Structure 1
């Protein structure tokens, strides 16, 4: 990999991960629940007395350890950098106390957060610099058991949502909306960003 290309990929990983952290922050302050994995982070944060960013790092580290023994080729620099940047961004923003009383405004923040999160995931994914911990786990399970990636993603989403609720995360419409909207939104942004990012990486 050329040094110039390497640096560009690294920049995209940091940019995409930062945007993901902003999206996660918006879904959290909207207080409608969040995507299943973030629900699990929130539950761990409540139960262990740690920040949501620290919960993300803990879960990501455990996932990457499992993936390392299952299919280590899924892991690269981006796999480690992604949760670090997300955690720093999310924890920094959550230090700013914001209360939103309007249900309509909360819903707007939540949907905006999901869209921003999807945009960040698309940018990070197109950098092709190592899968995120969650994606790496799903793909490793797919390689091990030879079943549909979608099946493992749904099973993992359900498992994390249930675990988050059991740990004290709020049960709301948020996780359902996230499951319905995220896949479509990520694919939309990937379709529209793939060409400009390809040109950026190869010019």
Structure 2
């Protein structure tokens, strides 16, 4: 249990730091971070704090879906955005394409490892993952369709608000699934009996989002 708690906390902190690196790369970020950026630009609230607020609002959306949050869900809301904000405070924006690509890829890898850590701890999904699995359960839609609808919606809204969409957004979407697929089995600390079926795992665990 101690290992799982430590793994959860490290994973969530690393997830926020990884997202912050993708922001500093300046080449585009994942859909939920695009949305958080856009809201941040319009409100003046730090993007990390916006991430926490959005996580809480998404959690409220679980109520009609009859989803039950776990300890990991609450920790996700509290820690990911806080870590993101702290990392942004100490790492300046990156100048130059190649440096930006290097930082972007480092951020994506960090998010993938972080996802393996916090999902593998087995304390419940992040608020955004829970939203998608809840839609799947209540509406009967495939998880991939729920994810596509939700993430395309927040991506579009974030872009309209001024969030950064670019090659980084495409690379994140392309690379994160395979990287999490590699990381999760290596870092899964849950009892075998409590591990989800592979199809549900792939659909629910690959983050935004990260799961965040």
* TM-score between both structures, scaled by the size of structure 1: 0.89
In structure 2, what is the Cα distance between the partners aligned to 1:14 and 1:170? 28
RMSD: 1.5
Deviations 1:95-154 (A, max 9, x none): 125132221111011011011101101111111101101100000000011111111112
* Aligned positions, number: 191
Structure 2 regions of 5+ residues with no counterpart? 192-212
Aligned ranges 1:82-97 → 2 under 5 Å? 82-96=76-90
Answer yes or no: is 1:187 the counterpart of 2:189. no
In structure 2, what is the Cα distance between the partners aligned to 1:19 and 1:60? 17
Aligned twin of 1:9: 4
Deviations 1:7-60 (A, max 9, x none): 433222111101101111110100011011111110111011101111111111
* TM-score between both structures, scaled by the size of structure 2: 0.85
List, as ranges, runs of 4+ consecutive aligned residues in structure 1 with deviation greater than 4 Å. none
Residue 193 of structure 1, CA deviation: 2.2
Give the helix-richer structure, 1 or 2: 1
In structure 1, what is the Cα distance between the partners aligned to 2:46 and 2:15? 17
Q: Is contact 2:18-2:111 (8 Å) kept?
A: yes
Aligned pair partner of 2:161 in 154, 164, 167: 167
Aligned pair partner of 1:25 in 15, 20, 33: 20
Structure 1 regions of 5+ residues with no counterpart? none
- Higher gyration radius (CA): 1
